[in-house]
Amino acid sequence: MKRRLIWTVLMVTVLALTFTPTGWAEEGVSATEIQIGQWGPQTGPAAAWGSVARGTGAYFKMINAQGGINGRKIVYHMFDDAYNPAKTKAGVKELQEGIGMFAWVGGVGTAPGLAVKDYLMKRKVPWIGPSSGSLHWITPPEKYLFTVYPMYATEARILCRYAVEKLGKKKFAIIYQNDDYGKNGVKGAREELAKHGLKLVAEVPVEVKEGDLKPHVMKLKKSGADAVLLWTSVKHAVMTVGISKAMKFSPQFLSTSTCSDFVLMNLISKGLWKGVIATTFALLPDSDNPLMKKYKKEAFDKYAGKDERWGLFFYAGIAFAEPLVEAMKQCGKDLTRENLIRKLEAMKNFQGISGKISYAPFNPKDPTCRRGQNSSFLVQCMEGGKAKKLSGWITIGD
């Protein structure tokens, strides 16, 4: 009897600790809170992209002010990894094992993301909307990883196709960050140019910490390229354009969306960004779209820091988090990771402030089951950093 009593007490205690009125307890979820994490480079070589994580923070504050997610408030944990994979890994591990994140959202950078991808997937922690278009996120697909950002390779294909068919360009070169981010751009450019009987006339790698790009630009100039793809950090992209102008080298510059915040690029380049054509994945900052207006008024105006600017990098942090928020809302009170995955997998043509997003039930042989967005549109930088829209949404087939 005594042993049975002890056993009963133990079982009741375990149940009391693990069962809530709404279902089985889940790491990072309580009756009143949801723990969500993100890293973002507030310092270091990619600090210009740091506003992504700050945009997500303002968005979550807006949601909490409106009552949260089915009565639960989002507790947002963002840390500065300085675009350093070692810091990313240490910070993610500290938050995951110290507090327990229900899910992760965003997270700037391919190299930082690769540093934690296997760790999160092994622990079955959902990661939605990496702030990077790496093919590594979907090849092979992972059950708990859902992308929002278009693939960098797709962006490169869109740019090359436009430059060939609309601008008549024949000689393409690329300067690229010598990591997975840059190499994805090279891959896409090679694939698309091959369809037009063309090849890259120069492929010029650059390391993240390099400070002198004159030799790199000289290689581009000597190649005779009439179109140059920019697949680098903001700093290196601006340096490339500036040095090219000084060398009287004037190709059509084509940039990935990582450098499509034209107001910022124009400011940093002191006006030299004018004329650059870029892909972009979210609506323009002055869009009349009701949702953009809502986010500007209720998230940015109320919760952004005094030195913050309403621009693509900031509201990209909202775009990457929209599918996560929508899926959590659809979970109702039954907010578990597995239920979240089911709701995301059922998402079809979800329309926030980026292109349409769709997922499908997990299939390890089908990368598209976790590729949320497969469209971008083209913009060109005009005087004062204004954006001229050159196309509607463009989708590149598989």
- Average of pLDDT values for 278-293? 96
Please, which pLDDT band fits residue 396 given cuts at 50, 70 and 90? confident
pLDDT score of 21 more than 50: no
Mean pLDDT, the chain, whole residue set: 93
> Which two tokens mark 206?
């650059």
Which domains are seen in the chain, by residue range?
A: 21-149+288-362 (3.40.50.2300), 152-280+378-395 (3.40.50.2300)
Q: Is 166 within 8 Å of 200 (Cβ atoms)?
A: no
Q: What would the pLDDT profile of 161-195 be if each residue is shown by its tens digit? A: 999 999 999 999 999 999 999 999 999 999 999 99
pLDDT score of 211 more than 70: yes
- Average of pLDDT values for 365-394? 96
Q: Percentage of the chain with pLDDT > 90? A: 92
Q: Is 291 within 8 Å of 268 (Cβ atoms)?
A: no
How far CA 190 is from CA of 49, 185, 196, 338, 391, in Å, comes to 27, 9, 10, 39, 22
Residue type, 343: K
Q: What would the pLDDT profile of 309-341 be if each residue is shown by its tens digit? A: 999 999 999 999 999 999 999 999 999 999 999
Work out the end-to-end distance of the chain between its first and last CA atoms, rounded to an integer number of angstroms.
67
Q: What is the pLDDT of residue 110?
A: 93
Task: Considering only the C-alpha atoms of the chain, give the largest distance between any 2 of them, rounded to a whole number of Å.
Answer: 92
Cα angle 71, 101, 299; round to 5? 55
Distance CA 25, CA 31 (A): 9
Where does 20-133 have alpha helices with state H? 51-65, 85-98, 110-122
Residue type, 337: R
Render the burial of 272-282: b for 16+ CB within 10 Å, e for the rest. bbbebbbbbbb
Q: What is the pLDDT of residue 281?
A: 94
Please, which pLDDT band fits residue 3 given cuts at 50, 70 and 90? low
Distance CA 217, CA 242 (A): 10
> Which two tokens mark 42?
């507030």
Q: What is the pLDDT of residue 4?
A: 56
pLDDT score of 14 more than 90: no
Distance CA 62, CA 214 (A): 45
Q: What is the pLDDT of residue 10?
A: 46
| Cα 231 off chain centre by | 15
Q: What is the pLDDT of residue 286?
A: 93
Where does 46-198 have alpha helices with state H? 51-65, 85-98, 110-122, 152-165, 180-195
- Average of pLDDT values for 20-37? 80
Coil vs helix vs strand at 183: helix
- Average of pLDDT values for 119-132? 98
- Average of pLDDT values for 274-280? 98
- Average of pLDDT values for 355-371? 97
Residue with the two structure tokens 């840059």: 182
Residue with the two structure tokens 């008549």: 168
Q: Is 99 within 8 Å of 30 (Cβ atoms)?
A: no
- Average of pLDDT values for 88-105? 98
